[in-house]
Structure 1
């Protein structure tokens, strides 16, 4: 079926069911960012492959609501699909709800698959449309249209050695139960896969890029139930779970167990739990809607996690050094494309003994493609790299044990003055953030302002967040902290690992982004209180060949020189003599010629 034929089939089923509008979100029943193939519903229906967006279909209109990261991608992929791109004004907001309220007559029905909508969003849709007596209905209209729909993955999962996790399951469970006591909850249901992976020290291959396992957990003061598909764990790991007091049940039993809960108080995380669970609870169950306590516990890394992540950064830095050396030595001599460059950096990572997979689809953009923040090359969009202009590579890996995420923009030859200035301003912004010192309790939006301030002075801004949390051999995008414009009520606390990744994007020309991961560590304690600061964990040289030094403060140049020297010292023991000599040239200090 073509996408237009699929759209027609959906509309036919809408008509049969009396549905005025049908919503298709980009998530799975666990509210994941990356989802198993079975839940790539937007891609199936429209051809759009981005990781975030929402399809809304009515009798007369079909649109994809997506944010600026995907404007160019969506415009290309939606051609002749029957869908139009609706550009979100504010990232991560359900602006289509107000549109539905305006478009639909009173008494209409809006349908969506309750499994694929979060509690908080399902409630928002229901409440916002109820004024016009527009009802919501649980329907999966793709079930009969999607022929040969992929099954859920059946790869084996494993329990990690607890010595490599820094904390055992028992101690983590104890802290979780303390959180439930504070919330005055009897029962807690966890759906979010990275939280479950951290709590049970379990990892798997069920979702691309995220080493997680499809599962649920139901936890009380006396019992722990883990819901898994049969055959996911070895008999040895099942025995270990039994010894730890965990009852393993079939994955699909979570639904009946939730329905059987009576006369209790349950804690549900509205952003990380599907709307279906909320609708299945008995009226006798009291509901507390709070963030899953594991989210906060997981965000603060213990000493084992920190030390192992540092080791992962060395492995990652070695791979990137070898890649950029290869790129410099081969550009203009042999054909290199965005796609082949992505594959090559993966090959260099795979040579590492502890490599466990890439942490997300590499963003490899050359020239004008670098102006697309979430651009991923494929067979139909794949520029050849030439010995001129800028190449942006945003990539990362999983290691035993640790997760990396790094962006470097490098010149491939002659560059314009505008490219040099943009590169220098992005570097300046990244250094401002990396070198920041701030009072304990500071939130991400405050640090976001520190990073953006010098860009704002030049009338420049970027539409994505400045930073996100990163997991420990887990999801590359991890909450609850973030560095961005929104006032998230979470402080950037000691032990958190977060990215700092400002950018400048000029459509049709070029893009620049530079990203490091930083660890929040103690700073000074003064008369004015306790301060925190960042330790940069990422180890990969920052190109200085096109830096316009007069646009950097003396202390910023000192930071840059010290960082590159650290990179050289940390990576040199793992490199060949030739590789180390090449890296030494890249890390050579630049003169401090600032006039500001």
Structure 2
């Protein structure tokens, strides 16, 4: 097979962390600040940031998708959430940088406790929202200190080989896949502005820009984004200000009736001019940089902070996007099933490494002929590496998938018609009874979400415990959400919908989310089972209120060797058997003979397989 095209396995080394942090401290001294905050962020608060915005990874060696370093003159901390409990200490030089768990101490709490009285804490106003700056200010005040925005980021000042800004191609997204025209979307946006009493909307989230203007870009890895901004006035023409100048002429022509396109360099002046003549401008509180609010206010405008109305519009997929997602999942299911069959032949006997598995899976997806990118770096964790929730294999950490171990592979693809995300955990050889118990409890929670029916207005927080209950009964749990929203050839992690303790958005028909409970035993193994699901209306005979449920989009078998039937009730067994029958029926005609025979064997009714093994 050919080598993977999208995945890389080099890890920024923490061995240079001491030198780089020392250089940053010298730059801080020259700038007259006593500390500096380094978030894992770009000016759009994106999950995946361009190479020139990977400041946290360059400075510390930590490559997680979320985290914040606070560098003071004589101490430093890296605050991360529960996903990175094991990863952060492994990647950074802990002699100069202390990993701190967010569940125990927030960034602001650490600042309040460690910043000395009278000190000045610096921050880059393009990398923090106004709300974030307010929190920093409150934390510094608690310590008797102050904060100050910097005109030049001191990390950039010492990053000698910092990559150039991205300039990827920006193209039109076909109407049959987008599902709605730009004109129709702008009309909905303007109606929302009218209801909110706003004169204009500043689009600071590139995902929302891509959705509203039916375009896709290539400025960051794994998500087809064009970086930049847009302004949508309640009356008049919209305008886009894109970082890249590589704009397809077909896109310019498609947008010409609705919007003007200019360069990112023109945006600040255009926003100031708008602020001078507009009384109220909506700025997304989640992605709008503090610098934008300052720019508007200095020009005489009034900021209306709040959610970008596009975010919720984008979360509810239209008929074209849903049809595309189903097609993408069928295609992806073929590739993943081919991989799982291949894995069953190659892994036993210690003949396969984590990196080799990643490369093979990407090759199977590539053979569809329609793969645009992977939707995130593949998590390929064997044995103890599987217990690291967001583990990313590197050439330093790569290990052979051993006999008697569990192998967890969490991966996804970007196709023009949809975004996928799937996790399967498989036993290599014979699993232990503990492994089977834990896997089956995770599977019970996964099935509980898949089978859930709930009234309209229900939030993700209200059903999150469905996935955890079987683990709670054994005194177990997992430290991540049960599900995140997923875009339509956009971000694999999309808000505001989520199934989690913090999931406060009501689930609506058309939303796509992941269903991925897990269990992780540090130093031993990890288990996660993930399908994507679509919220849909459900008619319940005799019911007296509108109800919702989930359609499972993902198509790939579970590892039946890890299922303890004694822990499942009849309804759960029936659901799993029905799902496996659906997978078999949907995929078999598109598989080669060897894979088809394997799929036929592993998707037989669970009791039949148990009897055959007895």
Contact 2:534 2:552 in 1 (8 A): yes
Q: Is 1:450–2:466 an aligned residue pair?
A: yes
The aligned length equals: 589
Superposed CA deviations along residues 206-226 of structure 1, whole A, max 9, x for unmatched, are: 111111111210110212010
Secondary structure in structure 1 of the residue aligned to 2:562:
coil
Counterpart of 1:491?
506
Secondary structure in structure 2 of the residue aligned to 1:144:
helix
Residue in structure 2 matching 1:235, options 241, 249, 271: 249
Q: Is 1:524–2:536 an aligned residue pair?
A: no
Q: Structure 1: state its 5+ residue gaps.
A: none
Residue in structure 1 matching 2:149, options 137, 148, 162: 137
Counterpart of 1:278?
293
Counterpart CA distance in 2 for 1:355 and 1:538 is: 17
Counterpart CA distance in 2 for 1:104 and 1:297 is: 42
Superposed CA deviations along residues 378-397 of structure 1, whole A, max 9, x for unmatched, are: 10001101232211000000
Residue in structure 1 matching 2:110, options 74, 95, 99: 99
C-alpha deviation, 1:133, in angstroms = 5.4
Q: Is 1:76–2:76 an aligned residue pair?
A: no
Contact 2:123 2:147 in 1 (8 A): no
Residue in structure 2 matching 1:550, options 553, 558, 566: 566
Normalised TM-score (structure 2): 0.93
Residue in structure 2 matching 1:8, options 15, 22, 26: 22
Answer with 367-376 or 116-125: which moved more: 116-125
Counterpart of 1:248?
261
Secondary structure in structure 2 of the residue aligned to 1:85:
strand
Normalised TM-score (structure 1): 0.96
Residue in structure 2 matching 1:108, options 119, 126, 132: 119
Contact 2:82 2:102 in 1 (8 A): yes
Q: 1:230 to 1:505 in 2, by over 3 A?
A: closer
Pairwise mapping of residues 164-183 of structure 1 onto structure 2 (< 5 A)? Answer: 164-183=177-196
Counterpart of 2:517?
502
Counterpart CA distance in 2 for 1:24 and 1:86 is: 14
Counterpart CA distance in 1 for 2:428 and 2:463 is: 32
Q: 1:565 to 1:439 in 2, by over 3 A?
A: same
C-alpha deviation, 1:538, in angstroms = 0.3
Superposed CA deviations along residues 316-368 of structure 1, whole A, max 9, x for unmatched, are: 11111111111111223573111110111000000013221100000011111
Counterpart of 2:582?
566
Pairwise mapping of residues 5-44 of structure 1 onto structure 2 (< 5 A)? Answer: 5-44=19-58
Superposed CA deviations along residues 88-112 of structure 1, whole A, max 9, x for unmatched, are: 216xxx8121221222244321111
Counterpart of 1:86?
100
RMSD: 1.8
Contact 1:119 1:271 in 2 (8 A): no
C-alpha deviation, 1:412, in angstroms = 1.1
C-alpha deviation, 1:80, in angstroms = 6.0
Counterpart CA distance in 2 for 1:509 and 1:58 is: 36
C-alpha deviation, 1:255, in angstroms = 1.6
C-alpha deviation, 1:5, in angstroms = 1.6
Contact 1:444 1:482 in 2 (8 A): yes
Counterpart of 1:481?
497
C-alpha deviation, 1:228, in angstroms = 1.4
Counterpart CA distance in 1 for 2:40 and 2:487 is: 22
Answer with 410-419 or 274-283: which moved more: 274-283
Q: Is 1:340–2:356 an aligned residue pair?
A: yes
Pairwise mapping of residues 92-491 of structure 1 onto structure 2 (< 5 A)? Answer: 95-130=106-141, 132=144, 134-138=146-150, 139-221=152-234, 222-229=236-243, 231-242=245-256, 244-260=257-273, 261-262=275-276, 263-282=278-297, 284-332=300-348, 335-486=351-502, 488-491=503-506
Q: 1:592 to 1:118 in 2, by over 3 A?
A: farther
Contact 2:129 2:285 in 1 (8 A): yes
Counterpart CA distance in 1 for 2:179 and 2:301 is: 36
Counterpart CA distance in 2 for 1:230 and 1:332 is: 48
Counterpart CA distance in 1 for 2:601 and 2:55 is: 49
Secondary structure in structure 2 of the residue aligned to 1:393:
strand
Secondary structure in structure 2 of the residue aligned to 1:557:
helix
Superposed CA deviations along residues 206-264 of structure 1, whole A, max 9, x for unmatched, are: 1111111112101102120100135321223212221x221111112222222332252
